[in-house]
Amino acid sequence: MKRNWEALVLRAMGGRNFRLTVLDTEPVGDRYRRLLVDGGGLLDACGVHPTMWIRLWFDNGGRPHQRAYTLVDPDPATGRFHLEFALHDGCAARWAETAAVGDTIEATVQGSAFALPEPAPRHLYLVGDAASLPAVNSLLDAAADVPATVWLEYAHDGERALTPRARDHHEVTWIPRGADGEGLVKTVRDAMPATDDAHYWVAAEAASTRDITRHLRRTLGVGRHQVTSLGYWSVR
């Protein structure tokens, strides 16, 4: 597909391009679709880290449409990984719903960088939703021994079909999404403690993510280096 100015900027910033090939597809309940893809050398060239995401280029009526997706269970030995798409009325989600074995899609790797703090935090506080659950799961796997408190917003019961990879010392609370995401924000604001040796990771709808991050930094006084936050999607 023809690329736009975004692709040129990403290339200038060191972005690397790959072609992914769909090897398998499966529904996960009625609100997710999981694809197994061959990364076209992406894992070899770029390595992997928890929450790693890539930019996928979808065809939106002939125009390029770039959206971020998280690598799930990347396997450097085979060069394969999964992508788990939450389904809604969007170009990327529609592509995932109809993707078939043999389909290809362009990907750019630029901007993803995350490492668990060293030494490991004593506790993880994770805030996510259907879009960021793949990343939450990669964190729970990477920090499997670290106690974690996880709040997950869901808009449809089917979004709970993607199982959090929680161990006994991980506490998961599901919160239904109301009209404006206020339920998640209020629950987290009421329950989130401030501690010096914790790490806070927040990735939900953009406005909710901003509210929660502001609360952490300004109200609770949590240090900047203790907080990772990124809006994963926007209400439009």
Nearer to ligand FAD, 224 or 236 (CB): 236
Please, what is the minimum distance in Å from the beta carbon of residue 184 to ligand FAD? 13
Please, what is the minimum distance in Å from the beta carbon of residue 40 to ligand FAD? 18
Q: What is the C-alpha separation between 140 and 48, in angstroms, rounded?
A: 15
- B/e letters for 30-65, b = 16+ CB within 10 Å, e = fewer, are ebbbbbbbbbbebbeebebebbbbbbbbbebeeebb
Please, what is the minimum distance in Å from the beta carbon of residue 197 to ligand FAD? 26
Nearer to ligand FAD, 62 or 122 (CB): 62
Q: What is the C-alpha separation between 51 and 48, in angstroms, rounded?
A: 9
Closest chain position to ligand FAD (CB): 90
For residues 224, 227, 228 and 230, what is the CA-based torsion angle, rounded to 10 degrees? Answer: -90
Please, what is the minimum distance in Å from the beta carbon of residue 127 to ligand FAD? 14
Helices (H), ranges, 55-122: 91-98
For residues 85, 88, 91 and 94, what is the CA-based torsion angle, rounded to 10 degrees? Answer: 70
Please, what is the minimum distance in Å from the beta carbon of residue 90 to ligand FAD? 2
Cβ-contact 205, 235 below 8 angstroms = yes
Place of tokens 């090897």: 23
Nearer to ligand FAD, 144 or 235 (CB): 235
Nearer to ligand FAD, 38 or 84 (CB): 84
Nearer to ligand FAD, 27 or 193 (CB): 27
What is the contact surface with ligand FAD in residues (CB under 6 A)?
A: 53, 65, 67-70, 84-86, 88-93, 130-131, 134, 230, 232-236
Nearer to ligand FAD, 29 or 147 (CB): 29
For 171-210, give the DSSP string.
Answer: EEEEEE--SSSHHHHHHHHHHPPP-TTEEEEE-SBHHHHH
Bond into 119 cis (ω within 30): yes
